[in-house]
Amino acid sequence: MSLLVIGSIALDSVETPFGSNQDAVGGSAVFFSYAASLLHPVLAVGVVGNDYPEQELARLAKRGVDLKGVSRADGESFRWRGRYSYDLQNRDTLETRLGVFADFAPTIPEDFREANLIFLGNIDPELQLSVLDQVSKPEFVVCDTMNYWIESKRDALIELMKRIDVLMVNDAEARQLSGDWNIYRAARWILDNGPRLAIIKQGEYGAVLVEPDNRIFYLPAFPLEEIYDPTGAGDAFAGGFLGHLARSNDVSSANLRRAMVYGATMGSFAVERFSVDRFEEIGPAEVTARARAFRELVHFDIPHD
C-alpha cells in the first residue's frame, strides 16, 4: 500500500534538563517519515523555506521518503522553540514562527493521489480537508490535531472527523475535544462523531486503541531509564503505526494491535535522543527486537482458576 504524510517540516530549538539544540530538524511530517521509513516507503507533502538545509532533504530522500510533494517557498522555514520542565512532564512554547507555513496550501502531486494510507499531521483542519479532496483512493486515513485547532477551528474539525478512519490525539486533546474528562468516554464520543477508531496517547504511560463495541487495547510505553527529548514522540508513533499497516496491507484488529506496538516502538526511539538522531542509529533489527520486547513487557497467562 502507498503511504502519504502531510505535516510540518520544521527547525526546532529545544531545551531539556539534559541539554539543548538549535534549528534541528523537526515537525510532524519529519518525525513521521523518519519512523515510518524504517518499515515502508513514504510520500511526503509539505513546505520548507529558503533556509532549509538541502542536505536534510537529501537525508530524508535516502531513507525512502519521496519528497516530490515538498515545495520550497520564498521565506523562512517553520520554526519552533520550546523548553521542557525538569521532569519532562510539561513544556512551554517559547516561540513559534510560521514562516512559509503561514501561506501553505498543500498540493498533492499527481502520482501521490492514489495513496491509500494517509496521515494528516497536526495542521489546520481546513488544509487537512483539502488534502482529502485531492486524493482519489483513501482507504485508511489517520488524523492528528491539537488544542489550537480544537479551539479555533472546531467546525472544520468536526466535519473532518466524518471523513477519517482514526483520530489519533493525546489525552488532553481528547478531553478538550469531547468535553469529557474520562478518556474512555472521550473515545466513545470520538467514535460517535465519525472515526471508526480512536487512538489516545498518554505519553510516558502508553496509548489506547478503542474500536467499536468498546473493544479496548492498552499498550504501555516502553520502559526507558533515560529520556532526552520528548519532541516528536507522537508523530514517530504515527509513523510506526502506519508504516506497519502499509507494509502488511492488513487493517484487521489483530494487526492494528501490532501496529500500535510498532507505533510505541518508534515513539520510544524518538525520545532517546534529540531531534531525529536516534533513527539514524537504528535499523530493522533494533525495531524488531524492541517490538518483540513489548511482548515480555505485557504478556501473562491465566491458565485456570
Residues at the site binding a copy of itself, with contacts judged by CB under 8 A: 86-87, 181-182, 184-185, 188, 202, 205-206, 208, 215-220, 223-227, 254, 257-258, 260-261, 284, 288, 291-292, 294-302, 305
Rounded CA separation 271/276 (Å): 9
Q: Is 19 exposed, middle or buried (0-12, 13-18, 19+ CB in 10 A)?
A: exposed
State which residue, 87 or 133, has the beta carbon closest to a copy of itself: 87
What is the separation of C-alpha 149 from the centre of its chain, rounded to a whole number of angstroms?
A: 16
Residue 263: φ, ψ to 5° = -60, -50
Residue 217 burial (10 A CB sphere; 0-12, 13-18, 19+): middle
Is the Cβ of residue 113 or residue 258 nearer to a copy of itself in the bound state?
258
Q: Are 231 and 12 in contact (CB under 8 A)?
A: yes
Least distance in angstroms from the C-beta of 224 to a copy of itself:
7
Nearest 10 degrees: Cα torsion 183, 197, 33, 156: -80
C-beta of 188 vs 196, nearer to a copy of itself: 188
Query: Least distance in Å: CB of 258 to a copy of itself?
Result: 6
Rounded least distance, CB 17 to a copy of itself, Å:
9
Which residue's entry shows cell 537525508?
59
> In angstroms, what is the minimal distance from the CB of 253 to a copy of itself?
10
Report the nearest approach of a copy of itself to the CB of residue 174 (Å): 13
Residue 65: count of CB within 10 angstroms of its CB = 22
Burial class (CB within 10 angstroms; exposed 0-12, middle 13-18, buried 19+) of 129:
middle
Choose between 133 and 285: whose C-beta lies nearer to a copy of itself: 285
CB-nearer residue toward a copy of itself: 98 or 297: 297
**Pairwise CA distance, residues 71 & 38, whole Å:** 24
**Of 67 and 197, which has the nearer Cβ to a copy of itself?**
197
Cα–chain center distance at 218: 18
Alpha carbon distance 210, 178 (integer Å): 15
For cell 512559509, what's the residue?
Answer: 100
Min dist. Cβ of residue 184 to a copy of itself (A): 5
Nearest distance in Å: CB 74, a copy of itself: 44
Residue 87 in grid coordinates: 521532569
Contact assessment for residue 64 and residue 37, using Cβ atoms and an 8 Å cutoff: yes
In the bound state with a copy of itself, the residue whose beta carbon lies nearer, of 131 and 199, is 199
Taking the complex as a whole, how short is the minimal distance between the CB of residue 303 and a copy of itself, in angstroms? 9
Give the nearer residue to a copy of itself in terms of CB position, either 102 or 216. Answer: 216
